[in-house]
Structures are given as structure tokens and as C-alpha cells.
């Protein structure tokens, strides 16, 4: 992910936290709801990383250049 993507994600998270703290204690969500939201945000971040990785590899392949090996490919080559 690029720096701008990480910065935007942190800004969105900060807004969520500020909105949560602005609510009166009686209207705040339960811990179970917070866990569900955290899981959803984590899955969304993983999906964003996977799409970004795929698009990056596709872009390199379309240019016709030999792509640099990814981290996982380098680890596999080191073990073989």
C-alpha cells in the first residue's frame, strides 16, 4: 500500500474513534459490536492489500518487463 492509502485509512479510523468518544456513555456500542467492526475493518484492509498487490503485479506484467520477485517468491526460492 502506498503512503497515501495508509494515511487515508488512519484518518478514517481517527474519525471513527472521535465519533465514538463524542457519544454519551449510554449510547456507545457494546464490546461485541466493536469486535465485529474491528473484524470488518481488518478484512477490508486485507482485501485492499490483495487488490493493490494484484494490480501492481498486473501492471508490471503488462509492461512486458520481467517482474521482480515478490517477498513470498523470494522466501520460497531461499528454501528450495
Range of the domain at 42: 3-79
pLDDT value at residue 6 = 79
Q: Are 60 and 13 in contact (CB under 8 A)?
A: no
Domain count along the chain: 1
Question: Could you tell me which residues come within 8 angstroms of residue 53 by beta carbon, excluding any fewer than 6 positions away?
Answer: 70
pLDDT for the residue 22: 87
Q: What is the largest CA-CA distance in the chain?
A: 59
Three-state DSSP state, 73: helix
Q: Per residue of the chain (80 residues), give pLDDT as tens.
A: 577 777 888 888 888 888 888 888 778 778 898 899 889 888 888 888 888 878 877 776 777 776 677 787 888 888 87
Q: What is the pLDDT of residue 1?
A: 57
Amino acid at each position: 500500500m502506498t503512503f497515501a492509502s495508509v494515511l487515508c485509512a488512519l484518518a478514517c479510523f481517527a474519525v471513527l474513534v472521535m465519533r465514538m468518544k463524542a457519544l454519551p456513555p449510554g449510547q456507545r456500542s457494546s464490546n461485541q459490536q466493536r469486535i465485529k467492526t474491528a473484524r470488518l475493518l481488518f478484512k477490508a484492509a486485507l482485501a485492499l492489500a490483495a487488490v493493490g498487490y494484484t494490480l501492481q503485479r498486473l501492471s508490471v506484467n503488462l509492461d512486458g518487463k520481467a517482474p521482480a520477485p515478490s517477498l513470498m517468491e523470494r522466501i520460497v526460492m531461499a528454501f528450495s
